[in-house]
Amino acid sequence: MNGMHGIIFSYEKRNDLRELGEIRSSASIPFGGRYRAVDFALSNLVNAGVTDVGVVLHGRYQSMLDHLGTGKVWDLSRKRGGLRMLPPFNYQENWGVMPFRGKIEALAGVRTYLDEIRQDYVALMDGDLVVNLPMTDIYESHVKSGADITVVCGNDSFATDNGTYFEMNREGRVTDVLYNLHTPRGYRGLEVYILSKKLLCEIVDECTAKDQFSWRKALQMRKDTLYLRSYIWGGFAAQIRSVQEYYDRSMQLLDPAIRAELFTPERPIRAKGADKPSTYIGPNGVCLNSLVADGCRIEGTVENSILFPGVVVEAGAAVRNCVLFKEVIVRRDAEMAHIIADKDVEVLEGRTLMGHSSYPIVLEKGSVV
């Protein structure tokens, strides 16, 4: 299938990621022991045979550029098409100086790129969505249904920060587009859309002419004139927009059923490999109910935690219910629980750090405690 083009949004947005979001966009946040959030969107597209993907960038995108490289990991380093980085290049007035106010503005910022798309259909995805969608199936049912836009929704009304919700009739046609809800209702939108290139360009141009920047507002206004059709995804789908959601969703990965679904071998999630040796657990190390990446050294105790590559837990130290990013060092006899420690954090000997599942503490990148 080569009829679909991918566009992934990885620009800075208002979110509640605290220290985790200060140095990166939410799409490049590490997740699941060895991934970045954007790996999921990229892999979803590539697994459906998509060969051309544009990543819309704006603000704090150094970490994203480092991560994506030439796109080789996803087989997107190609002679024709492949991976394209899209910082805002169609400057009008002050565009590109201020953060994007919405997807339409982001697309208008790369408007000439849209003209060059070779495929008839475009899939729009958010980079902060952690999911393993059967995009082939979604694309095929979009084409078959004759819908103008397919809207992918989770099978829940889960409250996500700044979420979009859809109501629909029995046939699956969207009847309402809701956001800024006090109490979420309807189906949670995963911010995954499929539509034709032609319609996408029309909507972007029309909205730009009226200084409308919000994609969901555009959908709301067109719900009666366009056929918006829903596709309900019943599996795991996390939108990483707050520390709490990040933590809760990470801990869900300790459930084998959720891992089996998110990491189904039929649609593998590809990620950049770290050149690290195997993980080593020492003679007195204990490691239970945890997800552990390569290159770690565990001499102490680790329980109910997620360890990224190169984490060191020294003898006598105890790590419980934590998410430890790359190269975090927990020195002797330190104790920590309900902590999210960013890259290169060092927790010194004998320190005690306790968060709570309802308020996980974030340790900033590189900090020494």
Partner 1 sequence: MKKECIAMLLAGGQGSRLYVLTGDMAKPAVPFGGKYRIIDFPLSNCTNSGIDTVGVLTQYRPLELNSYIGSGQPWDLDGSTGGVHILPPYQGSKGGTWYKGTANAIYQNIGFIDLYDPEYVVILSGDHIYKMDYSKMVKRHEEANAACTISVMEVPWDEASRFGIMSVDGDDMITEFAEKPKEPKSNLASMGIYVFSWQALRKYLTEDEANPDSENDFGKNVIPAMLNNGERMAAYRFDGYWKDVGTLVSLWDANMDMLSPESGLDLTDESWPIYARSVNAPPTFLGRNAKVTHSAFNRGSDIDGVVENSVLSPNVVVSEGARVSYSVLLPGTVVEPGAVVEYAILGEGCRIGRDCRVGGTPEATAPAPWGLTVLAPGCVLEDGKRVAPGIMLNRNGEEVSK
| Residue ranges binding partner 1 (CB under 8 A) | 32-34, 72, 254, 256, 259, 263, 268-271, 273, 275, 277-295, 297, 306-307
Cβ count within 10 A of residue 208: 18
| In the complex, minimum distance from the CB of residue 319 to partner 1, in angstroms, rounded to a whole number | 13
Give, in order, the Cα–Cα distances in Å from 213 to each of 25, 100, 162: 20, 8, 16
Is-contact 232 103, C-beta < 8 A?
no
The helix/strand/coil state of 275 is coil
Q: Provide φ and ψ at 123, rounded to 5°.
A: -105, 125
Buried b (16+ CB within 10 A) or exposed e, 339-363: bbbbbbbbbeeebebebeeeebbbb
| In the complex, minimum distance from the CB of residue 282 to partner 1, in angstroms, rounded to a whole number | 6
* Residue with smaller CB distance to partner 1, 152 or 291: 291
| In the complex, minimum distance from the CB of residue 209 to partner 1, in angstroms, rounded to a whole number | 45
* Residue with smaller CB distance to partner 1, 222 or 270: 270
* Residue with smaller CB distance to partner 1, 88 or 309: 309
* Residue with smaller CB distance to partner 1, 33 or 109: 33
| In the complex, minimum distance from the CB of residue 278 to partner 1, in angstroms, rounded to a whole number | 4
Please state at what angle helix 215-222 crosses helix 197-209, rounded to 10 degrees: 100
Is-contact 237 129, C-beta < 8 A?
yes
* Residue with smaller CB distance to partner 1, 15 or 301: 301
* Residue with smaller CB distance to partner 1, 146 or 283: 283
Instruction: Classify residue 107 as left (phi > 0), alpha (psi -120 to 50) or beta.
Output: alpha
| In the complex, minimum distance from the CB of residue 292 to partner 1, in angstroms, rounded to a whole number | 5
> Number of C-alpha atoms within 13 angstroms, CB side, residue 192?
31
CA distance 21 to 13: 10
| In the complex, minimum distance from the CB of residue 35 to partner 1, in angstroms, rounded to a whole number | 8
Report the candidate in 276, 275, 363 with the shortest Cα–Cα distance to residue 319.
363
* Residue with smaller CB distance to partner 1, 15 or 43: 43
| In the complex, minimum distance from the CB of residue 275 to partner 1, in angstroms, rounded to a whole number | 5
Question: How far is C-alpha 40 from the geometric centre of its chain's CA atoms?
Answer: 7
